[in-house]
Amino acid sequence: MVGREKGSLVQGSVHRGIACPCVGLCGEIKVTIDIVAFPVVSVYPVPLLSANINVVGYDGDTLYIRFHHGGTYRYEAVPASVFEALVAAESAGKFFSQFIKGKYAYARLNQDPFVAAPLAA
């Protein structure tokens, strides 16, 4: 598709399944489409029903947790099985206390990885 990206809207013209710069001179019927582009977040949030944990996310071997009190933390070298068990746990807070807290290197984050960065103008 030939087009432009500004903000969250992509515009362009497509026909015959390919991008065409001919501006209709080829005789093909052209369709102009608008596609809304979703914001790119660094980590997709998984909301939890928990009194302690708001959302979690996982990227590679890094676990991200946003607590209800407002702090967001990154935990390094966490196996995917631990993330999956946290999401499936009957009590995410208890699971966190037993199997994550104090067992993995962590850091408090200044920037929330669950919030999309603004798109360049």
121 pLDDT exceeds 50?
A: no
Whole-number percent of the chain with pLDDT over 90: 50
CA dist 98 and 89 (Å) reads 12
CB 11 within 8 A of CB 34: yes
pTM of the predicted protein model: 0.63
| Token pair 């206390």: residue | 97
- For the stretch 6-59, pLDDT in tens is 333 344 444 444 455 555 556 555 555 555 444 455 678 899 999 999 999 998
CA dist 23 and 82 (Å) reads 54
